Structure 1
C-alpha cells in the first residue's frame, strides 16, 4: 500500500539536514537530492554555498530514511534494482510539502536540485499528472504542490533507461538549469542535450552548463580504473551557476563588490 504524503515526509524529515542563517525569518529554500550512493561531501558544499547567500538549504537523505547505508545504495540503487527515479519522485513531492510548510521558509520560493539519481527523480516527477493514487508511489499525490517550485537545478542527471523523460513530456515547466558533463558514461552528453532540446521546444525555460568532465565530477576521490574523475573547474563552475540561478529565480540582489580602503 503506498504511503501518504504525510507518512513519507514523516520518514524523510528526521533524515533531512538544514543549513542557513541562524534566524527565524522566512527565506527562500533550496532542497538537495543526492545521487544513488547517498549523501556525499559535495552535497554539503553546495548546501553551504546556498546558505552563505541567505537561502535555506535542506539535504534530504533518501537512503537513511529507508534504513539503508552507502553499500546498499551502491549495490542496489546504483544498479537500478531498488528505488528507481519514479519511486523516489515521491520523496521529492513529500519534501516540497514538508519544507514549504515550515515557518522559516517562503512557501512559494523553492528550488529543487538533484545530482544524478536525484536529478532523475526530479525529472520523473515533472512527467506525472499526480492526480491518481499510486503515482510517485504515493497514496495521495497532489499536483498543486508543484506551484511552490520556482526552479530546478540538475547536475549530471541520469537520463537513460528507464527515465521517464526519455518518452514522456513534462507536465510542469519551472525554470530549469542543467549542468552536464561531456564525458558522462551513464547518460551520453548528446542524449542529454537531445532530451533537453525537446523539452525546450515544448516550452520549458531551460539553459545548460557544459563541462569537459566525467559523471560525478564533484566527488573528491575514486579508486582503481574508475571512469569518473574529480574536476575542480567543473565544481567551481557548477557552484557559480547554482548561486547565479538562485539569485535570478528568487530575485535576490547581487551584493556590490567590496571597495578598496582609502590609502594616505
Structure 2
C-alpha cells in the first residue's frame, strides 16, 4: 500500500508541476440575489487542460483573504487551484472581502467581525450559480472547499440547503472553527458528504469540537469523515510556511491573548491532497 501511495504521489507531483500548471483567470461573479456583497464578487478560475464539461470546486479563503502581500493569489490558493485543475476539476477561487472593502478579519475578535461565516454562505451559492451558468462545467458535480474561516463557511453552507435547486454535491473543510456549532451538535446536519481535516495541536480552531460534530453526524448515519493529524497546527497545508510561527495579533483561539500557532507539515499536506482527491473522485463522479 505504501508503495502504491508513493507511486500515486509521484504521479500527482508530475501532473501538477509548474510546466503544466493552470494559469488563474480573473472572473467577475454576479451576486445573483444570493450574496449580500454590495458589488460583484471577484474570482479566479483554474481551467483543466482537457475539454469539458468538468466537475468543479468552489474554494473559500480564510480570514486573511485570498491574496499575498504583493496582491497576487497566495501560495496555498494557487497550489490547490493548480492541483485540482491538473486532475480535471475546474477550480474557482472566490474573494469574499474585496467587494466589501475588507482587508482581513484575523485581527478582529469573533464578536466584532464585520463579516460572519453565515454572511459568506450567499457568496458560496452565488459561485455555485455562476459555475452552473458555464458550458464547461457539469452543474451537478460541484464541490465546496474552504480553509479556516472559509472552512467554517463550508460547514455553514453544507448545513443550509439553497432556497431553490440543488446545492453542492460534496464539501471539504480545512481546520474550521467548530466550537459554536458543537454546542448544538444535534442541529448539525450536512446535506452532502463532508470531509474535515485538522491538526490535533491546532490552538486557533481546535480539533476537539470538530470531533464532536463528526461523531454526532455519523451517529445519525450522515456521511462525514474527519481526519486529524498529530502534532500539527493551523495552516499546515500552506506551502509558503517554512517554520512554526506564533501570531500575537490574533485575539481569538484556544488561549485568548497568547496568540495562535501556524506551522507547516509537508507530510500532512501531501496526505490531505491525496484524501481530497480521492474524496472528490468518489463524490463528484
**TM > 0.5 fold call:** yes
Which secondary structure does the structure 2 equivalent of 1:73 belong to?
A: coil
Q: Unpaired runs of 5+ in structure 2? A: 1-30, 67-73, 248-260
Q: Take 1:9 and 1:118, find their aligned partners in 2: how far apart are those partners?
A: 19
Confirm or deny that 1:117 pairs with 2:149. yes
Instruction: Map 1:100-115 onto structure 2 (within 5 A).
Output: 100-115=132-147
Q: Quick check: 1:27–1:54 contact (8 Å CA) kept in 2?
A: yes
Note the aligned Cα RMSD (angstroms): 2.6
Q: Using the alignment, how far apart are the partners of 2:276 and 2:144 within structure 1?
A: 11
- Matched residues, number: 231
Of residues 20, 40, 44 in structure 2, which corresponds to 1:11?
A: 40
Deviation at 1:33, TM superposition (A): 0.4
Q: CA deviation at 1:172?
A: 4.4
Paired with 1:248 and 1:159, the residues of 2 have a C-alpha distance of: 25
TM-score in terms of structure 2 length: 0.73
Post-superposition offset of 1:186:
2.5
Which of these residues, 146, 150, 165, is aligned with residue 169 of structure 2? 150
Contact 1:173 1:203 in 2 (8 A): no
Bigger proportion of residues as helix: 1
Match of 2:258 in 1: none
Q: 1:77 to 1:56 in 2, by over 3 A?
A: farther
Cα deviation for residue 209 of structure 1 reads 1.9
Cα distance in 2 between the residues matched to 1:129 and 1:106: 19
1:73 Cα deviation (Å)? 3.0
Residue pairs, 1:83-102, within 5 angstroms: 83-102=115-134
The question of whether the paired residues in 2 share the 8 Å contact of 1:124 and 1:165 is answered with: no
> Which whole-Å deviations, capped at 9, do the CAs of 1:27-50 have from their partners, x for residues lacking one?
100110011111231122111111
Q: Deviation per CA, 1:210-259, whole angstroms, max 9, x where unpaired?
A: 212101112333686342211111111111111111211223xxxxxxxx
TM-score by length of 1: 0.78
| Counterpart pick for 1:28 among 51, 55, 67 | 55
Structure-2 change in CA distance of 1:155 and 1:80 (3 Å): farther
Query: SS of 2:209's equivalent?
Result: helix
Extract unaligned runs of 5+ from structure 1. 131-141, 252-264
- 1:10: how far off? 6.3
Contact 2:145 2:173 in 1 (8 A): yes
